[in-house]
């Protein structure tokens, strides 16, 4: 019987056959381990692929939520800015009202002094003219603020 892999003496033929069988068993074992390893790594790759998919989906979800939150934050900032402008406008209006009130008080005091002086002089016609002028002036002063009442 001719053994192509064997080149030694015939007595070692038996030993050579055992070696070939042993190598064959080793190859079968190696192939079996390789297939198991391949399956293991395939499962691992699928698991990692699934984890990557879940991470991408989660990232997409949080990116969307982040965008919505940023839009809400931007809207809140705009509302706060508008509120701040309105507050400043109201403060300015209140300051103007105070200035007008002080001016009206001063004018009322002056009118009262003039009336007292005229009463002492008992000049009814001039008192009537002063009263009418005062009423007209008060109406004119109220005109700019009529829209805010």
pLDDT of residue 62: 94
Which pLDDT score, from 0 to 100, does residue 116 have? 81
Q: 79 to each of 65, 82, 89, 92, how far by Cα in Å? A: 21, 5, 15, 20
Distance CA 79, CA 67 (A): 18
Q: Which band of pLDDT confidence, cut at 50, 70 and 90, is reported for residue 96?
A: very high
pLDDT at 1 over 50: no
Domain range annotation of the chain: 13-148
Q: What is the pLDDT of residue 67?
A: 94
pTM: 0.43
> What is the average pLDDT across 80-85?
97
């Amino acid at each position: 019987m001719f053994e192509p892999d064997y080149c030694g003496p015939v007595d070692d033929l038996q030993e050579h056959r055992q070696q070939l069988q042993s190598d064959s068993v080793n190859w079968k074992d190696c192939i079996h381990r390789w297939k198991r390893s391949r399956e293991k790594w395939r499962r691992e790759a699928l698991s990692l692929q699934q984890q990557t998919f879940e991470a991408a989906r989660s990232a997409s979800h949080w990116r969307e939520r982040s965008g919505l939150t940023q839009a809400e934050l931007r809207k809140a900032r705009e509302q706060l800015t508008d509120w701040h402008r309105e507050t400043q406008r109201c403060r300015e209006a209140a300051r103007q009202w105070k200035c007008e009130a002080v001016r009206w008080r001063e004018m009322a005091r002056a009118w009262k002094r003039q009336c007292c002086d005229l009463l002492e002089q008992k000049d009814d016609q001039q008192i009537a003219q002063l009263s009418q002028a005062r009423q007209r002036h008060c109406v004119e002063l109220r005109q700019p603020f009529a829209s805010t009442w």
